[in-house]
Amino acid sequence: MTAIFTTQYKAAYQVSASWQTLVDEVISGGEQRRNLWSNPKRSWALEFDKNNTDTNVVIDFFNARKGQFEAFYWTWLSTHPDTGKNLGGDDNTYLVRFSNDVIDLKHLFNGYTTFSLSITEVLS
C-alpha cells in the first residue's frame, strides 16, 4: 500500500513543470517531434517550521521511504486547515517521491527546526 504524507507544511510552491519530447532527425534533414507525456511532470518545494516531535515525524516518514526510493501520495492544499492561510495549492492529490536522499535541518532555539524538502511527481 502506498503511504500518504499528511504532515502539515508551512508553504508549498511549484518550482518546475517539465515535458518529455522525443526529437528524431529524418533523412531529409528535418525533424519529427513526439510528446511522450500527456501531462507535465511537476516538482514542489515544501517548507517546514516544526518542533522536535513534528520534525521527527517528517524524518521518520522520509526514512521509511528510503529518501527518493519509494513514492507516496501528497495533497497540495489550497488553504491551511488550522489557520485558513492561503497555501496556493489546488487541493489535488499527487503521487510523488522525494527529489533527493538528504534532509538538511537548521536547528533553532527550544527544539524548533526549519527545513525544506523537494518532491517530484511520479508519472504513471
The domains of the chain are located at 3-121
What confidence category does residue 69 fall into, taking pLDDT thresholds of 50, 70 and 90? very high
pTM for the full predicted model: 0.79
d(C-alpha 48, C-alpha 23), whole Å: 40
d(C-alpha 61, C-alpha 46), whole Å: 14
Over residues 9-33, the pLDDT tens digits come to: 888 888 887 887 888 888 888 888 8
Give the pLDDT mean for 87-112. 90
d(C-alpha 72, C-alpha 51), whole Å: 23
Mean pLDDT of all residues in the chain?
A: 89
Residue 60 belongs to what H/E stretch?
Answer: helix 52-64
Q: Tell which wins on pLDDT, 65 or 31.
A: 65
Over residues 73-87, the pLDDT tens digits come to: 999 999 888 888 888
pLDDT value at residue 26 = 82
